[in-house]
Amino acid sequence: MPLGDAPNYSTPRTLGLALVSILGSLGHFALGAVDYSNVDRYLGLWGMLLAGLLLVFGVLSLIRYAEAHDAMTDPSPRTPMYSTPHERLTFIIGMGLNGLCAATALAWAGAGQLVPWHLAAAAVNLWAVWLAWQARPKKGDELAP
């Protein structure tokens, strides 16, 4: 990445990924509370566990977005926030968690009673997967460890 490019965490796609991940996790929690008794207990617990992990991912991504914006205005930064080695992994985890949540929502739609709502939750997760795919740094853009 050439000097002067904004950190990947400071892009609008990263903000969108964080907000959509939080929205998706809250939707899964709400659907889990309402439709839990209509599905297998383990599917319900798995869905709510994934929703919790997705909520943590979304909040941490939102914090990273805020930190990247703050670092861009720091007159004497202590560490570079450009293209860190873990940056690509963060977006891969976002794709994985959202993909698993989408698959769980589709399974829950097949077993539960609130089918359109579970399909909507899966669509939100697939939107987040697309955002994570678009926001990830390209291979070779990371700094060497």
Report if residue 4 sits inside a domain.
no
Domain assignment present for 2 = no
pLDDT value at 79 more than 60: no
Give the relative orientation of helices 115-135 and 87-111 as an angle to the nearest 10 degrees. Answer: 170
Is there a domain that residue 78 lies in? no
Q: 103, 47 in Cβ contact below 8 A?
A: no
Look up residue 139 and give its two tokens: 């291979």
Q: Are 17 and 131 in contact (CB under 8 A)?
A: yes
Token pair of 54 as six digits? 């997705």
| pLDDT number for residue 22 | 94
Number of domains in the chain: 1
Q: Of 73-82, 107-116, 130-139, which has the strongest mean pLDDT?
A: 107-116
The structure tokens 């991912």 sit at 57
pLDDT of residue 121: 92
Residue 100 lies inside a defined structural domain of this protein: yes
115 in a domain, yes or no?
Answer: yes
Do the beta carbons of residue 79 and residue 7 sit within 8 Å? Answer: no
Specify if 20 maps to a domain. yes
- Kindly tell me if the per-residue pLDDT of 60 is higher than 70: yes
Residue 132 has pLDDT above 90, yes or no: no
* 145 located within any domain: no
Whether the Cβ atoms of residue 98 and residue 54 lie closer than 8 Å to each other: yes
Predicted local confidence at residue 6, as pLDDT: 58
pLDDT at residue 25 tops 90: yes
pLDDT at 1 over 50: no
- From residue 97, give the alpha-carbon distance in Å to each of 2, 57, 68: 30, 9, 23
Residue 111 inside a domain? The answer is: yes
For the chain, the average pLDDT equals 80
* Separation of first and last alpha carbons in the chain: 15
Task: Tell whether the model's pLDDT for residue 2 goes beyond 50.
Answer: no
Res 145: pLDDT: 43
Domain of 27?
9-72+86-135
Decide which of 75 and 66 is more confident. 66
Which of 143 and 73 is assigned the larger pLDDT? 73
